Structure 1
Amino acid sequence: MKKTKHWCYILVLFAIVTIAGCASAKQVKAPSQNISSSQVLQSLRLTNRYFMDKWPDTGKPIYTNRWRPSNIWTRAVYYEGLMALYQIDPDQSYYNYAVDWGNKHKWGMRNGVETRNADDQACGQTYLDLYEIDPQPQRIKDIKDNIDFIIQSGKVDDWTWIDAIQMGMPVFAKLGVMNNDKTYFEYMYKMYHHSKVIEGGGLYNKADKLWWRDKDFVPPYQEPNGQDCYWSRGNGWVVAALVRVLDLIPQDEAHRAEYLQDYKDLMEALLPIQRADGFWNVSLHDANHFGGRETSGTALFVYGMAWGINKGILDEKTYRPVVEKAWIAMSNEAIHPSGFLGFMQGTGKEPKDGQPVSFSSMPDFEDYGLGCFLLGGTEVYKMLNK
């Protein structure tokens, strides 16, 4: 009896030591949840300075597999982020850098004022922002002429891929506000509606509250695990579009309620599929299809969620821990000491593109990922300063 009692004491002691050891190990490994607005701003300045120093000539063409002008969509997304950073950190060098970019391209678009490609129109978001700061007519002439040309054509099926919603939609919204003209709002909605419910049978899946990238990924297309293919950054582009449009249009705009519901539904769909480490996978419903950390999609989701918290649209108790977890993950795991951002998927349209994605992998374009990170970070900064 005494021998049995003795062994019981030993087993209990062993269990206590083991549990204490596990708790201690978890405490050491868990990232700190204490983030400050000053730390966020420091990360934004570091990553942005890396890029501005690397690209001192804003008009220099970009070379990957061929030469492209530097007013294409990838660079335009960076400037969206830069203008957001300028709002919270009004450094004159940011403004000058953006104005120089517009001047170098004569405030024009890659394929001229009759382009129908939303990728060409993305630069107009920054042109319009800069016009509001200093209303020089040449800054918005070409982009307004282009959007007026699109409206006059009567054609509404240009946005055949969901990236285009982010590249083009905020331009319509901003012109509608600046000109106090609902025509831009109505035409914007027609194009959005086509992408959402008509293109390829509709690129939005109401059941999963997520978007297929284009008609090539509408079922019967499947991921290796049999699930639908929902590309992280593609859905991130829709998040950014809805945030930017909702931030601009009037409260009584005819289609605002629909945009707002689509935004809320998308945010809700992202909650249960965040990775344990804080990132989201490139394939939202198949973690094993090129799984792993990915910064651009994660940053866009952070942008959307933090914005919703700041506007009082999303429940802070539900979403703030998700945002903080994602921001800490990106800050701890993706930022190099130089300011270069790792775990960034290169350009493409699906999980397999731009692979492999790692801490040290270099995407074919460095600019758009940084733009996404700046957009997300500025909203996190605002959230922490509420």
Structure 2
Amino acid sequence: MRKLTFSLLLVLVTFCSALAQLRADSIFHQMKKVADWQWKTLETEGWRNPKKDWTSGAMYAGMVAWAKVANDETYFKKLIQVGEDNKWKVGKYRHFADDYCVGQLYSQLYTIYKDPRYIEDFKTLADTIAMLPHTEGLEWKKGIHMREWAWCDALFMGPPALAYLAEATGDMKYLDCTSKLWWKSTEYLYDKDEHLYYRDSRYFNKKEKNGAKVFWSRGNGWVMGGLVRVLSVMPKNHPDREKFVQLFKDMSAKVASIQQADGSWHASLLDPATYPVKETSGTGFFCYALTWGINQGILPYKKYSTVVAKAWDALTTSMHPNGKLGFVQAQGAAPDKVTYDDTDVYGVGAFLLAGTEMLRMTVDQEKNTAMVEAVNPAASERNEKITVEWSSVTAQIKKAKVKGLVVEDAVSGQQIPFEVIYTDQQKPKSIVFQTSLTPGGNKIFKIKRTSN
């Protein structure tokens, strides 16, 4: 009994330590190190796969998220160059979700830069996808994956691409098509008892060495990543939104319950002993999705904060000193072995997506602090006046008083000069400060109390 009590205490201390070590500046610099290593490696060693490939598409998802919080247009220019190199085309096989995963990038760049070339080809394809009847079964035969979302990975490749196009164009038919096809795939591939997805129909009756069903970490990571990306652009009043939210909650509870002691999820979710080493692409997508859920108020911070803190620790301890991300399982369709030296671009994409959400959560959950995010959705640099209502400040900072408040850049810690606007009754009405934002850039600030 003493040994058990000590073990439980040790785990609790580890949880608390992981949370205590989370710092916005540290998260930011870890992300920068990984992103810069990846771009440098691609530029000096070349691309392992085509720039239209699904592997690259997953990386772009993380690189767009990073470019925003980095507030540095250099990263957006790299992504625009990718589009130019691709001539803004999707892949060769038009209805194969892997080949239009890159549409996520094009739509997100169009949202900022408004260049119609960016989405012309993808929109033509999406118009066709939205009109097709999609009546075929999803059994893995007759090349069904070239026409339908018949494997769980496809739920990261296809749905977000169409959803972001809906956001970019304002045409909800793409989002409605996303929902229709998502639930078609879910009815076929989702195990309602385990709250996990089979990779495809070939795995329905397969078993792991321990007799458990085969559920692949990265495959289910893809699903959760795709799920939150669709939810992030789905209007609150969309008729299917609550179904998506409930699915997200169910999967989140299951995934959290099978996290390993090292903070990761191994390649096989239900047979981690057969694959005893952590795997960072699946872990990265799970960390991203769960932290997004916390930030959106869908998942309770108290229940999930230690889960994501441990996951982030598992990811950052997989970084090489030069920024290379290790323990990324090689391309495949099922659980497999992985080592510290294994890496690939989609693992980096997952890491950067997770980091952006961890950065927000870390600031947002800081005591006696109000988080403020400034966003520039335009293609030109802006000097913005940020206005924060006093009621918003007092909602997040107990007994807030003007005296003793400071405004800081959440990453650099630099204090920002601010002005307090008062009502006619000389009561605080708002806090106003200035900042500069690059095209597409975001900055996170915190208003905090330094004294009583």
Class of the TM-score when normalised by the shorter of the 2 chains: 0.7 to 0.9
What is the rounded CA distance, in whole Å, between the counterparts of 1:97 and 1:162 in structure 2?
Answer: 30
Look up the equivalent residue of 1:151 and give its one-letter code: A
Q: Contact 2:33–2:322 at 8 Å: present in 1 too?
A: yes
Q: Contact 1:69–1:110 at 8 Å: present in 2 too?
A: no
Question: Does 2:80 match 1:99?
Answer: yes
Normalised by the size of structure 2, how large is the TM-score?
Answer: 0.73
Q: What does the per-residue CA deviation read over 1:133-184, in whole Å, with 9 as the maximum and x for residues that have no partner? A: 1111110001101111112232265001011111010122122233333322
Q: Which of 180, 193, 218 is matched with 1:207 structurally? A: 193
What is the rounded CA distance, in whole Å, between the counterparts of 1:55 and 1:184 in structure 2?
Answer: 33
1:163 corresponding residue in structure 2 = 153
2:358 corresponding residue in structure 1 = 380
Q: Would the alpha carbon gap of residues 116 and 79 (structure 1) be closer, same or farther in structure 2, given more than 3 Å must change?
A: same
Unaligned runs of 5+ in 1: 1-14, 63-67
Unaligned runs of 5+ in 2: 137-147, 365-452
Aligned residue runs from structure 1 range 364-379, under 5 A: 366-379=344-357
Question: Does 2:320 match 1:336?
Answer: yes
What is the rounded CA distance, in whole Å, between the counterparts of 1:321 and 1:104 in structure 2?
Answer: 42
Q: Would the alpha carbon gap of residues 27 and 134 (structure 1) be closer, same or farther in structure 2, given more than 3 Å must change?
A: closer
Question: Does 2:249 match 1:264?
Answer: yes
Q: Would the alpha carbon gap of residues 271 and 161 (structure 1) be closer, same or farther in structure 2, given more than 3 Å must change?
A: same
Look up the equivalent residue of 2:225 and give its one-letter code: A
Q: CA deviation at 1:261?
A: 0.7
Question: Does 2:177 match 1:187?
Answer: yes
Question: Does 2:117 match 1:138?
Answer: yes
Q: Contact 2:62–2:350 at 8 Å: present in 1 too?
A: yes
Q: CA deviation at 1:382?
A: 0.7
1:276 corresponding residue in structure 2 = 261
1:249 corresponding residue in structure 2 = 234
* 3-state secondary structure, aligned to 1:56: helix
Q: CA deviation at 1:281?
A: 1.1
Look up the equivalent residue of 2:288 and give its one-letter code: Y
Question: Does 2:34 match 1:47?
Answer: yes
Aligned residue runs from structure 1 range 1-386, under 5 A: 33-56=20-43, 61-62=47-48, 68-111=49-92, 115-155=94-134, 158-197=148-187, 202-218=188-204, 220-331=205-316, 333-352=317-336, 355=337, 357-360=338-341, 362-363=342-343, 366-386=344-364
Structure 1 stretches of at least 4 aligned residues deviating more than 6 Å after TM superposition: none
Look up the equivalent residue of 1:342 and give its one-letter code: G
What is the rounded CA distance, in whole Å, between the counterparts of 1:175 and 1:89 in structure 2?
Answer: 24
What is the rounded CA distance, in whole Å, between the counterparts of 1:87 and 1:133 in structure 2?
Answer: 11
Q: CA deviation at 1:61?
A: 5.0
Look up the equivalent residue of 1:385 and give its one-letter code: V
Q: Would the alpha carbon gap of residues 156 and 91 (structure 1) be closer, same or farther in structure 2, given more than 3 Å must change?
A: farther
Q: Contact 1:156–1:194 at 8 Å: present in 2 too?
A: no
Structure having the larger proportion of residues in helix:
1
* 3-state secondary structure, aligned to 2:265: coil
Structure having the larger proportion of residues in strand:
2
Look up the equivalent residue of 1:192 and give its one-letter code: W
Q: Would the alpha carbon gap of residues 156 and 190 (structure 1) be closer, same or farther in structure 2, given more than 3 Å must change?
A: farther
Look up the equivalent residue of 2:177 and give its one-letter code: Y
Q: Contact 1:74–1:368 at 8 Å: present in 2 too?
A: yes
Q: Contact 2:69–2:356 at 8 Å: present in 1 too?
A: yes
Residues matched between the structures, number: 347
What is the rounded CA distance, in whole Å, between the counterparts of 1:45 and 1:178 in structure 2?
Answer: 27
Normalised by the size of structure 1, how large is the TM-score?
Answer: 0.85
